[in-house]
Amino acid sequence: MDREVQQLEESRVGRVFSAFKQFALLRHLHLDWPQWLRFMRKEVAPGRNGMDYEWQKHAQALRPYLPSKVDFVEACKAIYILIDVYGLSVGDFSRGLINGKQYKSKRFGAMDCFALARHGFERRYFDLAEAWFEAIALTSDNDEINRVLGYSWALVLQLYARNLLNMNKKELALTVLQRASTLGIDDQSILRQLELLERGDLKPTQGTRQLKMINFEHYVRGCRGLFDPPKGLSCHYDFHTHPVLRLAPFKVEPLSQDPYIAMYHDVIYDSEIEELKDNAFPDMERSKVYTYSDEDSKNTGRTSMSAFQTDHQYKAVTKVNRRVMHMTGFEVLADGSSDELLVLNYATAAQYLTHSDYFGPAYSEYIQRGDRIATVLFYLNDVEQGGKTVFPRLGIFRSPMKGSAVVFYNMNSSLQGDPRTEHGGCPVLVGTKWAATKWIYSAEQMFRWPCVDPK
The model's pLDDT over 201-212, given as tens digits with 9 standing for 90+, comes to: 778 776 666 655
428 Rama sector, left if φ>0, alpha if ψ -120 to 50, beta otherwise: beta
Q: How many CB atoms lie within 10 A of CB 242?
A: 13
Strand partners, 437: 342, 377
In 242-382, where do the E strands start and end? 250-256, 261-265, 285-286, 288-290, 296-298, 305-309, 341-346, 352-355, 372-379
Percent helix, percent strand, percent coil in the chain, to nearest 5: 40, 20, 40
The yes-or-no verdict on residue 82 having pLDDT over 50 is yes
Average pLDDT taken over every residue of the chain:
85
CA 69 – CA 63 distance, rounded (Å): 12
Q: Which stretch of 133-142, 178-187, 246-255 has the lowest confidence by average pLDDT?
A: 178-187
3-state secondary structure (DSSP) of residue 433: strand
3-state secondary structure (DSSP) of residue 381: coil
For residue 163, how many C-alpha atoms fall within 13 Å in the half-sphere facing its CB? Answer: 27
pLDDT in tens, 175-227: 888 877 666 665 677 777 778 888 887 787 766 666 555 568 899 999 999 99
3-state secondary structure (DSSP) of residue 271: helix
For residues 109 and 141, the answer to whether their CB atoms sit within 8 Å is yes
Show Cβ contacts of residue 237 under 8 Å, excluding neighbours closer than 6 positions.
Answer: 249, 250, 251, 252
Query: What is the pLDDT, as a whole number, of residue 179?
Result: 78
DSSP character at residue 119? H
CA 9 – CA 248 distance, rounded (Å): 46
Strand partners, 271: none
DSSP character at residue 426? P
Q: Between β-strands 236-238 and 101-102, what pairing exists: parallel, antiparallel or unpaired?
A: unpaired
CA 189 – CA 195 distance, rounded (Å): 10
Q: Which stretch of 47-56, 141-150, 291-300, 366-375 has the lowest confidence by average pLDDT?
A: 291-300
Task: Tally the residues of the chain.
Answer: 455
In 207-311, where do the E strands start and end? 236-238, 250-256, 261-265, 285-286, 288-290, 296-298, 305-309
Mean pLDDT of 239-245: 90
CA 111 – CA 94 distance, rounded (Å): 12
Going by pLDDT thresholds of 50, 70 and 90, the confidence category of residue 376 is very high
CA 129 – CA 120 distance, rounded (Å): 5
CA 182 – CA 179 distance, rounded (Å): 5
Query: What is the pLDDT, as a whole number, of residue 45?
Result: 57
Query: What is the pLDDT, as a whole number, of residue 292?
Result: 45
Please classify residue 352 by burial: count the beta carbons closer than 10 Å to its beta carbon, then call 0-12 exposed, 13-18 middle and 19+ buried. Answer: buried
Query: What is the pLDDT, as a whole number, of residue 254?
Result: 97
Give pTM, 2 decimals.
0.85
For residues 131 and 94, the answer to whether their CB atoms sit within 8 Å is no
pLDDT in tens, 284-342: 887 765 554 444 545 555 567 899 999 888 999 999 999 999 999 999 999 999 999 99
Q: How many CB atoms lie within 10 A of CB 48?
A: 9
CA 369 – CA 245 distance, rounded (Å): 29
DSSP character at residue 417? B
Q: How many CB atoms lie within 10 A of CB 99?
A: 14
The yes-or-no verdict on residue 403 having pLDDT over 80 is yes
Sign of the dihedral defined by the CA atoms of residues 42, 43, 45, 46, in that order: positive
Query: What is the pLDDT, as a whole number, of residue 8?
Result: 66
| pLDDT top residue among 148 and 430 | 430
pLDDT in tens, 418-444: 999 999 999 999 889 999 999 999 999
Query: What is the pLDDT, as a whole number, of residue 188?
Result: 73
Mean pLDDT of 407-415: 92
Q: Between β-strands 261-265 and 405-409, what pairing exists: parallel, antiparallel or unpaired?
A: antiparallel
Q: Where are the alpha helices (DSSP H) in 66-136?
A: 69-86, 90-94, 110-122, 126-136
Query: What is the pLDDT, as a whole number, of residue 454?
Result: 62
Burial code of 381-404, b = ≥16 C-beta within 10 A, e = fewer? bebbbbbbbbbbbbbbbbebeebb
Helix crossing, 126-136 with 110-122: angle to 10°?
Answer: 160
Going by pLDDT thresholds of 50, 70 and 90, the confidence category of residue 142 is low
Query: What domains, with CATH codes, occur in the chain?
Result: 1-199 (1.25.40.10), 235-441 (2.60.120.620)
